[in-house]
Structure 1
Amino acid sequence: MTVEAEVLNELHRLRSRLPELTGALAAGADGLVLAQDMPDVQPEGLAALTAAALGVGRRMVDLAARGEFRELLVRGAGGCLATYAAGPSAVLTLLADDGTNIGRLHLEGRRSGARIAELVAGRSADDRPAVRRGEPPTSPPAPSQAHGRILGALPVRIPPQSRYHP
């Protein structure tokens, strides 16, 4: 099963535990949707705004010397939006109706955020090339070597006289 499918399963489980949720979204810190269960909201737009809020939240706790970012709660007249860190590279955003038990929302949101962080971290570990015991890891060629081969094959045209460099 792919990481995205496992994250989506976690979102479904979360919504079954909290029926007052109207939507759940897991996104990368870059603003791309990992998985979503949001019937009435455009997930791509919310994922991008969530990533921006994550960046602002991280900066705020850093400036105030409050440690690592954990969560952000935004309340509107019709409900709330809660954002939870899901490791260093993902974020979980939940939409809930007005009157939702915020303590329960935080409890379940933190648990799901931790689970999503594990799933995303597992993908990162699986994406790395396997190294056999006793063998040094392989590394790509040094940038100067790679660029030299590529750029050496390209023709370079230098204008005879430029207005910027007489």
Structure 2
Amino acid sequence: MALNAELEGVLQRLRSAVPEIQGSLVASIDGLVIASNTKGDANRMAAMIATALGLGMRICDTFSAGDLSETSVTGNSGQIYVYSTGPKGVLAVYAVTGANVGLINLECRDAAKKIAAIFG
């Protein structure tokens, strides 16, 4: 199975498992879209998510907090969760405000591990 098809499958299963997830994408650490299951400009989102990953990594380094595993951004009408998928990529999901954060983290952490394994 092609890399993109495998990643699209992970994103589709993630959205099925957590109905509050409105969109998801996998990007390279350089900000290029690898797989997307979202509305809107996936290229722009991927670039911003890669930047958020890089900033989170620098914050963790500055505070000697170890390797970044995840971070989130909360707005008035939604939340964005960013998960490291190893040295090659990043997973991001967008959910509505009030979504079950525990379920999102549980499913997304598992998906991030699957994506890391796909990247090899």
Tell me which interval the TM-score lies in, with the shorter structure as reference length: over 0.9
Aligned to 2:19: 19
**Letter of the structure 2 residue corresponding to residue 46 of structure 1:** M
Task: Determine the C-alpha separation between the residues in 2 that align with 1:9 and 1:37.
Answer: 10
Give the TM-score of the pair, scaled to structure 2: 0.98
Instruction: Give the secondary structure class of the aligned counterpart of 2:71.
Output: strand
Query: Cα distance, 1:104 vs. partner?
Result: 1.0
Instruction: Give the secondary structure class of the aligned counterpart of 2:82.
Output: strand
- The one-character-per-residue Cα deviations of 1:134-160 (angstroms, maximum 9, x if unpaired) are xxxxxxxxxxxxxxxxxxxxxxxxxxx
Aligned to 2:7: 7
Q: Which has the larger strand fraction?
A: 2
Query: Cα distance, 1:87 vs. partner?
Result: 1.0
**Letter of the structure 1 residue corresponding to residue 112 of structure 2:** G
Instruction: Show structure 1 runs of 5+ residues with no match.
Output: 122-166
2:32 is the alignment partner of 1:32: yes
Instruction: Show structure 2 runs of 5+ residues with no match.
Output: none
Aligned to 2:106: 107
Higher relative contact order (CA 8 A, sep 6+): 2
Give the TM-score of the pair, scaled to structure 1: 0.71
Percent identity between matched residues is: 38
> RMSD of the alignment, in Å?
0.6
Query: Cα distance, 1:69 vs. partner?
Result: 0.5
Task: Determine the C-alpha separation between the residues in 1 that align with 2:36 and 2:24.
Answer: 6
